[in-house]
Structure 1
Amino acid sequence: MITTRDIAERLGVSVSTVGRALADDPRISEETKFKVRQAASEMGYVGNRAARMMRGASSNVVALVIPDIRNSFYSTIAHELSKNMEAEGFQLMLAETDDDRMVELGHLRELSATRVAGVIIVPTARPHSDSVKLLRTVPHLQLLRRHPSLGSQWFGVDDHEALRQATAHLVTEGHTRIAYMGGPEELPTGAERLRGFRSALREGGLPEDSGRTELGPPSSVDHGRQAMRRLLEGPDAPTALVLGSIQLTRGVLEELSEQDVKVPGELSVIGFGDEPGFSWWGPGLTTIGLPIQEMATGCALWLMRRLKTSPGNDGPYTSVSPGSLILRGSTAPPEGQSSS
């Protein structure tokens, strides 16, 4: 590894001169700075960021802490955030929790130890008290999910309205046996999406408890498949299904294809999120689109502004973006019935 001593020996100057030149110290002439930087580049010198941070320098790393990188929402938003951060001279680091609060705590401890500049986090359902304490020491904001213990800076989706509109579409088509599959109510997103589903049933003149629900781990494709099998069993199987998770949607589509269920003839389906394959699955999946680019840009701009201001200026901030119902071919009136 090339060191500042190697550069100093090549140029015939002191190690302290090299260090000051690389740090853009005003005591060093522009000519010397140019020679040092040129030699450093030619020799493949890489600065020791850890050493600089020990001397009080700040990190240029922003962490994105998410439940599941396989979820296209999180991978896409990571891509968008990375581009936005890079434009401002920051690098994005990913940490995956698998919705385990102890894994989440471990990541936050490591990030704190490396003096990460900021954190964007999709929190677990019940963050550890030590996670709460650690996040108080670093600029951070919550994405998609919001936990009251982690502060009042949050960028999310209007989950209630998105699911209400999707379910209302099925009610308008004439469905009365509508099922919902989503995450558990202990997650704020899960609770809001379930509330939106039930609101649409009530507004459509159906009992709130008339719709069957399957709640479980939102990042599990396998749970989606198993829950779909359960919903298809028995004489009271639903004629329509609305989903509240991308991974559950993937599991459902796999199971429906395997069982050769006719969509929308036997079952109307509204998915969640809009992965590339959803548009050409079967008749084309009607689904709830998510404002990924809008959220990523908003998160990046807020955090960059926060990092450039004095500590303690973190006033409450909430940004709620609407979802959108993307109509394709996977919904229709129940067999033998025309829509009103």
Structure 2
Amino acid sequence: MSITASQRVTTRDIADQLRLSVSTVGRALADDPRISVETRHRVQRKATDLGYIGNHAARMMRGASSKVIGLMLPDVRSTLYSAAAHALAQCMSRQGYQVMLCETDDDRDTELAQVKGLIAGQVAGLLVVPSPRPRSESIRLLNQVPHVQFLRTHPKLAEQWFTIDDRQVLHDATQHLRDLGHTRIAYIGDLLKLSTSGQRFKGFLNVVGADHDPDLVVHLPPGSVEAARVELSRLLEGPHPPSAVVTASVRITQATLEELTARQVQAPCDLSVVGIGDEPAFAWWGPGLTTMALPVHEVATASSRWLLRLLRYGGNPTPFISRTAGHLRKRGSTAPPAAPR
């Protein structure tokens, strides 16, 4: 029997060529232990030769478990999230799972639509970076399937969290500037509605104190690159400019470096700068950016392994919270404040 390129290869085609029953072929393709190893290998070799692609929907109807994991991220353009997606996909692939990526853009309606689509597709589980204010229906649906939160958290979702210790990250960044003698330290971060930005701002305040000059603190909507540049200009042109600035997101760090370059502000003699994230370009900027390296790969991999554990053992999981520390990379963008002119 010959099979043309336009035909879809079926289990019956494989069975006819090997003179086996369709049920035997189906079990062999599913690695059913009732089928001998030799027969399983014969069937799988023939399936590869013929270009057989399994029918996922049919397998699900027969009660087979899904091998698809949903991954929900706010913005795949962010190097933070793209690095996480890469690590997650690698980990899942090694265990025979495929990752289906969905982008929410931090929009609660888009998030709900993505959740509905993933659950309708019968994903085995979900890895979620929740939006700031998920809809109640999103929370209800997510709590019906195994899921793990990573990088960000929401208190009404499963208490299976893998995050960066954001408070400590900004504490260490700000403390580095304080140890150098800076007292007028500016802070540029996202709005506090995000779990990450709220923790980072607390870390900043832990060092500078609650009576820190409020004019040196800027909170921006996520992804507001142009607004970050405008606010930095305002800070530098004010009557009492800061001697140092600490940024609280990767995108804001990038915008800050762009504005400083455009204004020909020299670090660290004009302004000391501590960023967040460790993009390759940060090491090449000016004298090299002092920054807080974030353990994104480690957090993403741990999240994947924990979800696999939930899928393997099932039941009602006990709460598990993991916070991984960042690391200060000291380069040339920070120094003691210059003497008053």
**Would you say the 8 A contact 1:99–1:125 is kept in 2?**
yes
For 1:190 and 1:25, locate their aligned partners in 2 and report how far apart those are by CA, in whole Å.
49
Aligned match for 1:270, one of 274, 292, 301? 274
Counterpart of 2:225 in structure 1 is 221
What residue number does 1:80 align with?
Answer: 87
Counterpart contact for 1:289–1:323, Cα < 8 Å: yes
Does residue 38 of the first structure (1) align with residue 45 of the second (2)?
yes
Aligned residue number for residue 328 of structure 2: 325
Note the 1:155-194 alignment, pairs <5 A. Answer: 155-194=162-201
Return the offset for 1:209.
Answer: 3.7
| AA in 1 matched with 2:208 | L
**Within 1, Cα distance between the matches of 2:289 and 2:245?**
12
Question: How many residue pairs align between the two structures?
Answer: 333
CA RMSD of aligned residues (A): 2.0
Whole-angstrom distance in 1 between the partners of 2:39 and 2:309: 34
Q: What's the TM-score once normalised by structure 2's chain length?
A: 0.91
Q: Does 1:295 align with 2:317?
A: no
Whole-Å separation in 2 of the counterparts to 1:167 and 1:182: 13
Distance 1:50 1:282, change over 3 A: same
Cα pair 1:61 1:91 within 8 Å, conserved: yes
How far residue 180 of structure 1 moved from its aligned partner, in angstroms, is 0.5
1:180–1:211: 8 Å Cα contact kept in structure 2?
no
Could you tell me which residue of structure 2 aligns to residue 315 of structure 1? 318
CA distance in 2, matches of 1:264, 1:60: 51
CA contact (8 A) 2:128 2:147 kept: yes
Could you tell me whether the CA contact under 8 Å between 1:199 and 1:208 is conserved in 2? no
| More moved, 30-39 vs 138-147 | 30-39
1:334 is aligned to 2:341? no
Alpha-carbon distance change, 18 to 167 in structure 1, aligned in 2, over 3 angstroms: same
Specify the code of the residue in structure 1 equivalent to 2:297: Q
- Measured after TM superposition, the shift of residue 14 of structure 1 is 4.3
Provide the residue aligned with 1:153 in structure 2.
Answer: 160
Deviates more, 1:1-10 or 1:123-132: 1-10
Separation in 2, partners of 1:219, 1:47: 41
- Contact preservation (8 Å) 1:177, 1:210: no
Identity %: 51
Change beyond 3 A, Cα 1:51–1:239: same
- What letter matches 2:310 in structure 1? R
Residue pairs, 1:1-340, within 5 angstroms: 1-25=8-32, 28=35, 32-202=39-209, 207-210=211-214, 212-312=216-316, 314-336=317-339
1:29 Cα deviation from its structure 2 partner: 5.4
Displacement of 1:212 in angstroms is 1.3
Measured in 1, the distance between the counterparts of 2:49 and 2:128 equals: 39
CA distance 1:15–1:177, shift in 2 (3 Å): same
Q: Unmatched 5+ residue regions in structure 2?
A: 1-7
Letter in 1 for 2:301: T
CA drift at 1:34: 3.9
Unaligned stretches of 5+ residues in structure 1:
none
